[in-house]
C-alpha cells in the first residue's frame, strides 16, 4: 500500500522577482485531477479532515501559512508532515485517515483524483479501523 509522501514542485524565479511553481497533468501529481478546492481562514483551534477515502487520492499544498497534516494508514503507520513551503505538496493516498491543523493565515489547495462523492468518505475513526482490520 502506498504511503503518504512529499512532492516537490518546480520553484522558478528568485527572491528579487518572486517565484512561480507549476504542475501539469500527470507530471508531479500522480493522478488525473478531477477536483480542486481550497481552505482558508480556519481558526488555529480547529482540526479539519478527520476522514479517509475509499478511492480518492489527494495532493495538499500550503500555498500560504503552515499546515500540520497527520496521516494514519490502515496498518497503523502514522506520519506528521509540516507544510509551509508553497512548492511542496503532500500526496495522500486512498485509505489514509488524515487531519489538518492550520495557522490562521494558512491557505490550502487540494488536488483530488475524484469529484466529490459522500459515499467515498469514511468519517468515523472507529469505522476506519474496522474496515481495514488485519
Q: What is the DSSP string of 35-84?
A: EEEEEE---TT-EEEEEEESS--EEEEEEES-EEEEEE-TTS-EEEEEE-
Count of CB atoms within 10 A of residue 27's CB? 10
Q: Is the dihedral of CA 110, 111, 114, 120 positive or negative?
A: negative
pLDDT at 51: 97
Phi-psi region of 95 (alpha: psi -120 to 50; beta: other; left: phi over 0): left
Decide: pTM greater than 0.85: yes
pLDDT per 10-residue tile (average), the chain, 134 residues: 91 91 86 95 94 97 97 95 97 97 96 97 94 74
> What is residue 134's predicted lDDT score, i.e. its pLDDT?
56
pLDDT at 122: 96
CB contact at 8 A, 25 and 33: yes
d(CA 105, CA 124): 28
51 is catalytic: yes
- Residue 52's nearest CA partner among 94, 23, 105 is 94
Amino acid at each position: 500500500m502506498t504511503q503518504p509522501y512529499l512532492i516537490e514542485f518546480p520553484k522558478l524565479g528568485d527572491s528579487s522577482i518572486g517565484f512561480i511553481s507549476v504542475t501539469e497533468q500527470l507530471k508531479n501529481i500522480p493522478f488525473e485531477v478531477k477536483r480542486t478546492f481550497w481552505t482558508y481562514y480556519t481558526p488555529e483551534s480547529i482540526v479539519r479532515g478527520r476522514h479517509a477515502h475509499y478511492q480518492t487520492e489527494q495532493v495538499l499544498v500550503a500555498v500560504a501559512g503552515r499546515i500540520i497534516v497527520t496521516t494514519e494508514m490502515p496498518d497503523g503507520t502514522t506520519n506528521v508532515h509540516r507544510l509551509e513551503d508553497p512548492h511542496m505538496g503532500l500526496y495522500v493516498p486512498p485509505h489514509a485517515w488524515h487531519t489538518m491543523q492550520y495557522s490562521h493565515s494558512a491557505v490550502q489547495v487540494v488536488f483530488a483524483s475524484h469529484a466529490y462523492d459522500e459515499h467515498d468518505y469514511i468519517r468515523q475513526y472507529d469505522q476506519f479501523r474496522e474496515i481495514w482490520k488485519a
